[in-house]
Each structure stands twice: as C-alpha cells, then as structure tokens.
Amino acid sequence: MHWKHTKKIKPNPDKYFGFVYKITNKKTKQAYIGCKQYFVKRNKKNVASNWKEYMGSSKALLEDIKKIGKKNFKFEIIDQYENKRTMKYYELHYQMKLGVLTKILDGTDKYAYYNNYVGGRFTRPIKGADDMVEIDKEKQLLTKQVNTLKRQLNRSQKRIDVLTKDLEKIRGIGIDNSWEIEKQNENVIDFEAYRKRIKTNKEEYNALHDFMIECGYDPHDQVDVAQFWDDIEESAS
C-alpha cells in the first residue's frame, strides 16, 4: 500500500466511510486533492473498493505517474470521515483552502495542483454514521413516494391522451377554425380537404366516412355533413 499516514489517522475501513487525500509530484511539487471511499455498493452489498492501489482520478496526474513512476509521488491521507456527506464536504474544504484552482507554483507559470475543477452539491457535515442512516431512510422514502407519483401521473397522462384523441375524433377538434366558418357560411365541404385538415390517416378517414353512412349521413353532402357534426357536438355536450 502506498498511502502515508500518521498514527492518529491510520486507515480504518471498519470505522470510517472514506478519506480525503493529497498526492504530490516530488519532482514538480504539483499536487492533487481528492477523496476515496473504502467501500462501494455492488448488487446492494458493500464490497471493498480499490483504495489501497488507488492513485487519483486526474488524467494528467495518472499520465505523470505512468511517465515518471509511482516512486516519484507522495500519497498522503489527510483525514478520514464516517460518512460520504462529511467526506465530500471536507474534500471541498481542503480544495478551496489550498486554492487548487488558482495557486501557481513558485517561479513558474504552472498551476500548483492537478485539479481542474471542484464542485457539486454540498451541505453541512454531519457527525456520525447514525445520522447518515436516518438521512438515507428519508431519502429512500421520498424516492419511493416520488416514483409512485410518477407512475400515477404517467397512467393518468396516458388516459388523458386516449380520451383527448377520442374526443378529437368525435367532436372534430383538430379541424382549424376555418371548418367552423365553412359550416356557418354553408360553403361546400370537401371531405378529402377535411381529412387533410384534421391530419388523420386514410384508415381513420375511411372509418369516419363509413360511420357517417351507417348513421344515415351522406359524407359528400354539405347539409348532411354539417348536420352530422352538429348532432355529434350536441350529444357530446
């Protein structure tokens, strides 16, 4: 294991969730501040992470390690934390305190840290693992409630879409306003033009055409077509 630490902060996966670390290039003095957890979730079970062999997540850092060798880097554990929330808080704390995005190496124009960004959604740290368990329970409950509401909304929306489509077919909604004007002005109605207006396909058009005939209306007669829609609208209202 390449991690250096003091007696006070000896790695302890049994007690802690993870740690904040600093990796320093001994030749250039460039460094990297990050965090690593001791365990990861796989199939809903905690399994050990690769923390012992871990060498950071910075692409530039990993390239330099590959180029000049791991022996030219110092791997230090700054501190350990009992939960992810606190670990992430202190990762950002050290990154901002040390100025990882702005600090320049003395006598050069190069940045002192490999870190190219910091960020995320951060909250106040919490003291113990028990608090984190309660937060996780609340999060799981809220997630379950949200998913239930999403499913209900999805079913409702599908039902609304079906009813809206049926209503459009019955009441002629989807025809632009000129259809109503044509009815009122008793202009000659072209059924094929109507089909194009409501943007229906040929099968739906033929079905409506046949339905009008079955109901005793002539789809090619202006008076019958106007009466058909009047009767439909009256029965639907």
Domain extent at residue 197: 172-236
| Reduced 3-state DSSP string for 26-47 | CCCCCEEEEEEECEEEECCEEE
Asked if residue 136 is part of any domain, the answer here is no
Q: What is the mean pLDDT of residues 189-196?
A: 50
Q: Are residues 71 and 14 in the same domain?
A: yes
Q: Are residues 90 and 176 in the same domain?
A: no
Q: Are residues 123 and 198 in the same domain?
A: no
Q: Are residues 13 and 78 in the same domain?
A: yes
Burial class (CB in 10 A: 0-12, 13-18, 19+), 73: buried
Q: Are residues 121 and 199 in the same domain?
A: no
What is the pTM (predicted TM-score) of this model? 0.53
Asked if residue 111 is part of any domain, the answer here is yes
Q: Are residues 7 and 122 in the same domain?
A: yes
- Per-residue pLDDT band for 25 (boundaries 50, 70, 90) equals very high
Q: Quick check: 77 pLDDT over 60?
A: yes
What is the tally of structural domains in the chain?
2
Q: Are residues 11 and 101 in the same domain?
A: yes
Distance CA 151, CA 156 (A): 9
Q: Are residues 7 and 123 in the same domain?
A: yes
- The predicted pLDDT at position 71 comes to 95
Strand runs labelled E in the chain? 3-4, 18-25, 31-37, 39-42, 45-48, 73-81
Q: What is the mean pLDDT of residues 127-140?
A: 63
Q: Quick check: 115 pLDDT over 80?
A: yes
Q: What is the CATH number of the domain that holds 20?
A: 3.40.1440.10
Q: Are residues 105 and 202 in the same domain?
A: no
Asked if residue 158 is part of any domain, the answer here is no
Q: Are residues 115 and 216 in the same domain?
A: no
Q: Which residue has the higher pLDDT, 44 or 158?
A: 44
Distance CA 227, CA 95 (A): 76
Instruction: Give tens-digit pLDDT for 134-181.
Output: 666 666 776 776 677 667 667 666 666 666 666 666 555 444 444 344
- The predicted pLDDT at position 228 comes to 65
Percent of the chain with pLDDT over 70: 52
